[in-house]
DNA sequence: ACCTGAACACCGTTCAAGT
DNA sequence: ACCTGAACACCGTTCAAGT
């Protein structure tokens, strides 16, 4: 990945290295185990060097969170794209992927949704990354509405309700509040499908005559 | 509340004082602003005194979280009890209360659901307090099923789905991801009602002939 | 431009000692 | 039984100084 072979006194791409080291530390030990000094150590640099690239610890955390959001949205987006043309399947597939992210990366999920980051004062790039997740939901909802499969209600209302459901389940699992129902990867997948199916019934168009009609879709 | 007036060398009820001071600190500055030393200072005691009452910092945090869970469940339970006999209203009222808790006490909500606490190793009292929240949902769902208003599906499935939805919304709001939709107290209440109503339609019994029949209810 | 080392004010935790 | 003070190994952050 490096464009040049030299790496003398100047590290080269210290910013990226610090983000990477920080992500790894968070995955392994959680936010409480993340110290600026240890990140610097892991990158092989003095403990004050990070201040050339980040304003403070919160700024590094924001950069790590941004990467986390991108991974989350990417995964769910890819899952949805595998079912283009079938909004119901898109919804379930993206939901299951979202939930699995929380199970596979619980500490990252806590970083993104545990109140660690103040979104009001967050860097623009982080805000944009977090909005992308919501936009994905909106796109799927709109596809379903155009196809006549989903209710013709305000997109925002349907999106907030379903996103809340999926997000809440992911959070409850990754916090360990549902260990009895969702211990294994397989159980999580089953529970995710079940909940997203049930959420789906809440937003389905009960007027079935229009279903099946093919409308123009917004691509993901 | 104190049973005796004396408070000489021994503090008297230091444990309770520390929990109270800790709760206050968390509400004001968040978990990051909570230090054992400052809690001790606030209680007017040396920085090592807390170790007589708590194993370590995590143990104090668990005690604070337990109080938080009790407040959360109490609030939602009281709201539900105001609508005994009407499971739909019970569901919406308890949901709105749950969501409002997250808005009024965002830092406490983050403590309870932000992955700070390891539920696998948590003290028994904390585990029990967290289960009570889930049991409240189950009770309301069962009331609705008995009355024939809710679908006759597995209670756990309906409870997990609806709790996820309510919890997810509360979390998204308290993290600041929905500031545009839910800025004021009034907007939060409206959004909460909307989402819980929509979640409700997903679990309503569509076979309407049985509705209205009065069955025996489990009291809260 | 980028990195370092000393310095400061904080932590959590331990332990011998006091009342 | 309950609390204290010194001590230890850590933090985040600042700042003058080095390459």
Do A35 and A101 share a structural domain? Answer: no
What whole-number percentage of chain A has pLDDT above 90?
Answer: 85
Question: Mean of the per-residue pLDDT values for chain A?
Answer: 90
Q: What tens digit of pLDDT does each residue of A139-169 get?
A: 999 999 999 999 999 999 999 999 999 999 9
Question: What span, in angstroms and rounded, lies between the C-alpha atoms of B119 and A84?
Answer: 39
Least confident of A4-8, A119-123, B19-23: A4-8
B164 class by beta-carbon count within 10 Å (0-12 exposed, 13-18 middle, 19+ buried)? buried
Classify residue A42: in a domain, yes or no: yes
Is the distance from CB of B65 to CB of B111 less than 8 angstroms? yes
Angle between helices A106-113 and A14-29 (to 10 degrees): 110
Residue B8: CB atoms within 10 A of its CB come to: 6
Model confidence at A9, pLDDT cuts 50, 70, 90, reads very low
Classify residue A34: in a domain, yes or no: yes
Question: What span, in angstroms and rounded, lies between the C-alpha atoms of B104 and B96?
Answer: 12
Model confidence at A210, pLDDT cuts 50, 70, 90, reads very low
Classify residue A2: in a domain, yes or no: no
Do A68 and A139 share a structural domain? Answer: yes
Exposure letters A90-124 (e unless 16+ CB within 10 A, then b): bbbbbbbbbbbbbbebbbbbbbbbbbbbeeeebbe
| Whether B30 contacts chain A with CB within 8 A | yes
Do B199 and B158 share a structural domain? Answer: yes
Do A213 and A129 share a structural domain? Answer: yes
Model pLDDT, residue B217: 62
The predicted model gives A66-91 an average pLDDT of: 97
Q: Strand D positions with any atom < 7 Å from protein CB?
A: 2-6, 10-16, 19
Do A131 and A62 share a structural domain? Answer: yes
pLDDT higher than threshold 50 for residue B2: no
Model pLDDT, residue A13: 87
Classify residue A1: in a domain, yes or no: no
Structure tokens at B5: 């007036």
Distance (Å) from CA A48 to C1' C8?
15
Question: Mean of the per-residue pLDDT values for chain B?
Answer: 90
Is the distance from CB of A130 to CB of A119 less than 8 angstroms? yes
- Residues in B closer than 8 angstroms to A157, CB to CB, are 194-195, 198
The predicted model gives A41-49 an average pLDDT of: 94
What whole-number percentage of chain B has pLDDT above 70?
Answer: 89
Do A42 and A67 share a structural domain? Answer: no
| Whether B119 contacts chain A with CB within 8 A | yes
Model pLDDT, residue A4: 32
Model pLDDT, residue B5: 29
- Residues in B closer than 8 angstroms to A174, CB to CB, are 115
In this structure, what CATH number is given to the domain that contains residue B178?
1.10.357.10
Q: Could you report how far apart the first and last alpha carbons of chain A are, in Å?
A: 28
Model pLDDT, residue B4: 32
**Residue A150 backbone phi and psi in degrees, to 5:** -95, 155
pTM (predicted TM-score): 0.90
Is the distance from CB of B147 to CB of B208 less than 8 angstroms? no
Residues near B94 by Cβ (< 8 Å), separated by ≥ 6? B76, B77, B79, B80, B136, B137, B140
Do A125 and A36 share a structural domain? Answer: no
The predicted model gives A78-98 an average pLDDT of: 97
pLDDT higher than threshold 80 for residue A6: no
Residues 72-101 of chain A within 7 A of strand C, judged by CB, are none
Is there contact between B51 and strand C, defined as CB under 7 Å from any strand atom? yes
Do B161 and B100 share a structural domain? Answer: yes
The total of structural domains in chain B comes to 2
In this structure, what CATH number is given to the domain that contains residue B18?
1.10.10.60
Do A167 and A194 share a structural domain? Answer: yes
| Whether A164 contacts chain B with CB within 8 A | yes
Model pLDDT, residue A96: 96
Domain range enclosing A117 = 58-217
- Residues in A closer than 8 angstroms to B201, CB to CB, are 202
Do B146 and B102 share a structural domain? Answer: yes
The predicted model gives A102-114 an average pLDDT of: 96
Classify residue B2: in a domain, yes or no: no
pLDDT higher than threshold 60 for residue A214: no
Q: What tens digit of pLDDT does each residue of B19-78 get?
A: 999 999 999 999 999 999 999 999 999 999 999 999 999 999 999 999 999 999 999 999
Q: What tens digit of pLDDT does each residue of B152-190 get?
A: 999 999 999 999 999 999 999 999 999 889 999 999 999
């Amino acid at each position: 990945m490096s464009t040049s072979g030299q790496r003398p006194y100047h590290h080269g791409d210290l910013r990226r290295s610090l983000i990477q080291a920080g992500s790894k530390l968070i995955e392994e030990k959680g936010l409480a185990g993340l110290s600026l000094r240890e990140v610097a150590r892991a990158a092989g640099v003095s403990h004050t060097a990070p201040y050339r690239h980040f304003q403070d610890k919160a700024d590094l955390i924001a950069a790590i969170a941004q990467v986390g959001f991108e991974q989350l949205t990417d995964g769910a987006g890819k899952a949805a794209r595998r079912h283009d043309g079938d909004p119901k399947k898109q919804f379930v597939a993206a939901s299951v992927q979202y939930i699995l992210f929380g199970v596979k990366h619980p500490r990252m999920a806590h970083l993104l949704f545990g109140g660690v980051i103040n979104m009001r004062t967050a860097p623009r790039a982080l805000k944009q990354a977090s909005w992308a997740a919501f936009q994905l939901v909106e796109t799927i909802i709109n596809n379903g509405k155009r196809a006549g499969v989903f209710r013709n209600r305000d997109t925002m209302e349907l999106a907030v309700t379903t996103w809340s459901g999926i997000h809440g389940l992911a959070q409850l699992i990754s916090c360990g509040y549902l260990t009895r129902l969702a211990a294994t990867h397989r159980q999580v997948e089953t529970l995710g499908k079940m909940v997203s199916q049930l959420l789906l019934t809440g937003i389905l168009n009960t007027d079935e005559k229009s279903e099946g009609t093919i409308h123009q879709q917004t691509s993901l």
